């Protein structure tokens, strides 16, 4: 009864312990630029998935070569590690040992590293489908963006596959007809859950009692009486004079994200060209079938007039072979990745665009 009620309660949020976050960040940073993956354990409490421990999957050692193909193979092996048989056995043994020492031993998902928000891939979808289908339906995938986090902005997000996408992925058919029937779009692939970081009360008390180090440099005394009476912890108003506001340099992450966005758009055009080629091939074959059927009907009419046995009219299935429609899954994933890059660009350009418009006249020729 309790288990049925637990399954009926949808997952509302993910709560990750601070120690787990530090373990994930350390593992992903050490493995960068390769993909790092691992398992997370915890428990589900009233729709809130509490992640209390984690452990990484063993790294795959390949012979050192300079071949680009070998580097791609190593990256694919690392990305597909969560669903490999060896790591499944390793995960089961680790959870068994955690249970022996009275630690939360319920698998609640896995984590992976990403670079510049590039995580909507086939391996990520297959891994999460493996967890939601085989191990535990109430599992999440935690994505840690190493590049964004290296600049002091921790990027940690939790995702699940939507029920509609799970049903379509289980059938394995991503044709135009099935997508129209299920009304599945790229927005329905992943469901993001709000993620919070939790500290124990003991740790919070310890952090508040940590003594601050004395300043290493000489303190700058206030220049005016008003500055002396002002609280330094009070944030400055938005229009307060600040030299940093005059910096016109574009964020390097914006440039890299734009490059990745262009690559994704080129991939989308390639998928579109492949589908258009399929439509042209299908049109030619259907035209041949129509011409053959018309010719066969004319022959049968003549044979009937001559009191002869008419020929079968379904032989075209053996003579002509219709081309198979390519899967639309890659186009869906690429569209979702384009949306991810677009959101990142939108966030980066909030401050840069205002500065560029302010000095637009000086940037134009003859300004």
Give 180-212 pLDDT, tens digit per residue: 787 888 888 888 888 888 888 887 888 778 777
Closest CA relative to residue 112, chosen from 138, 75, 167? 75
Question: Do the Cβ atoms of 128 and 161 come closer than 8 Å?
Answer: yes
What's the DSSP call for residue 216? Answer: S
Average pLDDT over residues 137-159: 83
Give pLDDT, residue 1: 43
Give pLDDT, residue 74: 58
pLDDT > 80? residue 349 = no
Q: Starting at the edge strand that comes first in sequence, how are the strands of the sheet with 48-56 ordered?
A: 190-193, 156-161, 140-145, 106-114, 37-45, 48-56, 13-17, 195-198
* Separation between Cα atoms, residue 83 and residue 122, nearest integer Å: 13
**Token pair 């299908």: residue:** 282
Average pLDDT over residues 158-173: 84
Give pLDDT, residue 27: 87
Give pLDDT, residue 68: 47
Average pLDDT over residues 173-186: 80
Give pLDDT, residue 220: 73
Using DSSP, state whether 159 is helix, strand or coil.
strand
SS3 content of the chain, % helix, strand, coil (to 5): 55, 15, 30
- The torsion defined by the Cα of 185, 186, 189 and 195, in degrees rounded to 10, comes to -130
What's the DSSP call for residue 84? Answer: S
Residue 10 pLDDT class (50, 70, 90 cuts): confident
* Separation between Cα atoms, residue 365 and residue 144, nearest integer Å: 43
pLDDT digits (tens, 9 = 90+) for 283-336: 888 888 888 888 888 888 888 888 888 777 777 777 778 888 787 888 888 888
The answer, as to whether pTM is greater than 0.75, is no
Q: Is 85 left (phi over 0), alpha (psi -120 to 50) or beta?
A: alpha
**Token pair 């058919």: residue:** 173
Give pLDDT, residue 134: 66
What are the DSSP E strand ranges found in the chain? Answer: 13-17, 37-45, 48-56, 106-114, 140-145, 156-161, 190-193, 195-198
Question: Do the Cβ atoms of 147 and 128 come closer than 8 Å?
Answer: no
């Amino acid at each position: 009864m309790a288990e049925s009620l637990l399954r009926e309660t949808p997952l509302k949020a993910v709560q990750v312990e601070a120690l787990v976050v530090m373990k994930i960040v350390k593992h992903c940073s050490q493995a960068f630029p390769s993909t790092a993956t691992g398992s997370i354990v915890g428990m589900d409490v009233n729709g809130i998935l509490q992640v209390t421990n984690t452990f990484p999957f063993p790294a795959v050692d390949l012979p050192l070569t300079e071949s680009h193909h070998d580097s791609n193979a190593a990256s694919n092996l690392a990305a597909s590690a969560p669903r490999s048989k060896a790591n499944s056995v390793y995960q089961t043994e680790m959870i068994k040992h955690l249970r022996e020492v009275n630690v939360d031993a319920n698998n609640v998902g896995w984590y992976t590293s990403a670079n510049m928000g590039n995580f909507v891939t086939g391996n990520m979808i297959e891994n999460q489908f493996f967890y939601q289908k085989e191990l535990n339906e109430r599992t999440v995938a935690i994505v840690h963006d190493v590049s964004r986090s290296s600049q002091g902005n921790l990027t940690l997000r939790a995702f699940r596959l939507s029920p509609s996408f799970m049903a379509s992925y289980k059938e394995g058919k991503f044709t135009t007809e099935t997508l129209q029937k299920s009304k599945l779009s790229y927005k329905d692939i992943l469901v993001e859950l709000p993620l919070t970081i939790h500290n124990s009360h003991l740790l919070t008390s310890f952090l508040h009692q940590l003594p601050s180090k004395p300043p290493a440099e000489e303190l700058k005394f206030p220049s005016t009486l008003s500055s002396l009476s002002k609280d330094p912890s009070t944030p400055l108003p938005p229009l307060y004079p600040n030299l940093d506001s005059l910096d016109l340099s574009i964020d390097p992450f914006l440039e890299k994200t734009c490059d990745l966005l262009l690559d994704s758009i080129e991939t989308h055009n390639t998928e579109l060209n492949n589908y258009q080629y399929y439509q042209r091939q299908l049109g030619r074959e259907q035209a041949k079938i129509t011409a053959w059927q018309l010719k066969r009907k004319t022959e049968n009419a003549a044979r009937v007039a001559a009191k002869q046995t008419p020929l079968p009219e379904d032989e075209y299935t053996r003579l002509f072979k219709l081309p198979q429609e390519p899967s639309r899954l890659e186009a869906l994933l690429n569209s979702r990745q384009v949306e991810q890059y677009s959101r990142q660009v939108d966030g980066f350009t909030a401050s840069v665009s205002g500065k560029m418009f302010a000095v637009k006249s000086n940037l134009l020729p003859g300004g």
